[in-house]
Amino acid sequence: MDRARQICDLQSCYLCRRCMPDWRLAIETHKENKKFKKGKTIFREGEQVAGIFFIYSGKVKIHMRWDEEKDLIVRFAKSGDIVGYRGLGNDMVYPVSATALEDTIVCFIDNSFFEATLRANPNLAYDLMKFYSNELQEAERRMRNLVHMEAMGRVAGTLLMLKNSFGINKQGFIDITLTKQDMASYSGTTYETFSRMTNELIKGKIIKVDGKNIAITKEAKLKDMTLADQTGNYERKGKKSRTALLAMRDSMQLHEKEALDAQMCAKILETIYERNAKVIHTYLPFGSEINIYPLVKILLENKYTVVCPKSLPKRVLENLVLNSLDELEEGRFGTRHPANSIEYKGDIDLFIVPGIAFDKSNYRLGYGSGYYDKFFAGEQKGYKMGICYPFQMIDDFPAEAHDVRLDTVIY
């Protein structure tokens, strides 16, 4: 990394475009321009956050470790974009790495001045809030596509994204030069699979390639491939989808999961109020399930009757009254339930139901043991509400005779 001789114009980057004009003098005083050669790391996953980066010129890839040998590219950034913002959470460490794809100049702002800038520029703070919301929605969409899309759909989507993000040059090629490995890492495929898919697209005259340059010749065909692959056809994917969805849920970034969990607790509480429910049946989360412990605490503090299931042999759920979150014990499959509690045998107003996936008809895909299906096949007449992350919603999967349709699913 070198200090850049070229000085930014205080007009082009994300920060300068959204600050008050009078604040730009303060930016000029506090900013530090840095130049990174192609292939150099701007910041590394796991490092302490020192500040935030605004790209003045160049292109950058944002990536994270997928396993010991593979990287997953989360996004690409270009001139005018912001990078390093994913580390601005409670942990203050970068959950991703950033690497220059070409010679790149960034404007670096340290944490203290960035916080002062947010306080002094409400329009910037508001735009950042919208930016984070859009990024979260895009992350959810990508997680869903990685689970539900076949390889060709993901490759087609990657090429369309690159064209939309970077445009085309005078020769008609997408205006970014990437290796096949980088494009494979973004699309969630292997190098070999990406090469095979692109060769099929070349043979179909949907794209043309000149070295590392790619041009899209039949954009409508590529769009059709992405749309055709968003059917959410669970029957075709079988147990592979269940495993993939669990893997995606387990790999969520902590700050993203915490934000979604908080939103979900608020939505559930709103539904409880709307339905005037007084007796709530709810699971107690384990692993990467939606953390509703804050919601359960609120219900207990406000004297709601909270009932939790205990898994017994032969796919039987026993309803136990929860009096305190300090009195729990571990049950079958690693789940938790009230300890030393009495069985609840009265009516239940509302059920909070977890799952691996739900479809638009309110059918649920569980862990495969059939506990909830058997439970709801009995005399359970309360309002049944499934909850999940947005990427766990799929268009449709074939319901079986024993499947019970829920009343609603929130996500």
- For residue 257, what are the domain limits? 244-410
Q: Is 78 exposed, middle or buried (0-12, 13-18, 19+ CB in 10 A)?
A: middle
Residue 249: what pLDDT? 83
What CATH number is given to the structural domain containing 41?
2.60.120.10
Query: Among residues 120, 139, 158, which one ends one of the domains?
Result: 139
**Residue 202 included in any domain:** yes
**Residue 382 included in any domain:** yes
**Residue 376 included in any domain:** yes
**Residue 239 included in any domain:** no
**122 shares its domain with 159:** no
Task: State mean pLDDT over 40-59.
Answer: 91
Task: State mean pLDDT over 341-355.
Answer: 93
Q: Which of 7-16, 64-73, 399-408 has the weakest average pLDDT?
A: 7-16
What CATH number is given to the structural domain containing 313?
3.40.50.10420
Instruction: State how beta strands 2-3 and 71-78 pair.
Output: unpaired
Q: Is 34 exposed, middle or buried (0-12, 13-18, 19+ CB in 10 A)?
A: middle
Q: Which of 35-49, 93-107, 227-241 has the weakest average pLDDT?
A: 227-241
**Residue 362 included in any domain:** yes
Residue 148: what pLDDT? 67
* pLDDT (tens digit per residue) in 240-280: 466 667 777 887 878 888 989 999 999 999 999 999 999 99
pLDDT at 402 over 80: no
**32 shares its domain with 169:** no
pLDDT at 352 over 90: yes
**277 shares its domain with 388:** yes
pLDDT at 239 over 60: no
**40 shares its domain with 113:** yes
Q: Tokens 């387990």 belong to which residue?
A: 250
Q: Tally the domains of the chain.
A: 3
**273 shares its domain with 369:** yes
Q: How many Å apart are CA 168 and CA 408, to the nearest integer?
A: 44
**286 shares its domain with 190:** no
- Rounded mean pLDDT of the chain? 85
**Residue 54 included in any domain:** yes
Task: State mean pLDDT over 123-144.
Answer: 81
φ, ψ for residue 278, nearest 5 deg: -115, -25
**310 shares its domain with 391:** yes
Q: Give the confidence band of 142 by pLDDT, cuts at 50, 70, 90.
A: confident
Query: Among residues 178, 199, 230, which one ends one of the domains?
Result: 230
Task: State mean pLDDT over 339-366.
Answer: 91
Residue 237: what pLDDT? 45
**97 shares its domain with 191:** no
**Residue 68 included in any domain:** yes
- The residue that leads in pLDDT, 274 or 133, is 274
**222 shares its domain with 250:** no
pLDDT at 4 over 60: no
Percent share of the chain, pLDDT over 90: 43
Q: Tokens 């060709």 belong to which residue?
A: 152
Query: Among residues 207, 230, 253, which one ends one of the domains?
Result: 230
pLDDT at 400 over 70: no
- The answer to whether the CB of 257 falls within 8 A of the CB of 390 is no
- The residue that leads in pLDDT, 15 or 99, is 99
pLDDT at 281 over 50: yes
**256 shares its domain with 333:** yes
**46 shares its domain with 135:** yes
* C-alpha dist (Å) from residue 356 to 237, 245, 252: 14, 7, 14
**Residue 167 included in any domain:** yes
What CATH number is given to the structural domain containing 185?
1.10.10.10
pLDDT at 230 over 60: no
DSSP class of 23: G
**217 shares its domain with 269:** no
Task: State mean pLDDT over 279-292.
Answer: 94
Q: Which of 280-284, 391-395, 403-407 has the weakest average pLDDT?
A: 391-395
Does pTM top 0.85 for this prediction?
no
Residue 238: what pLDDT? 45
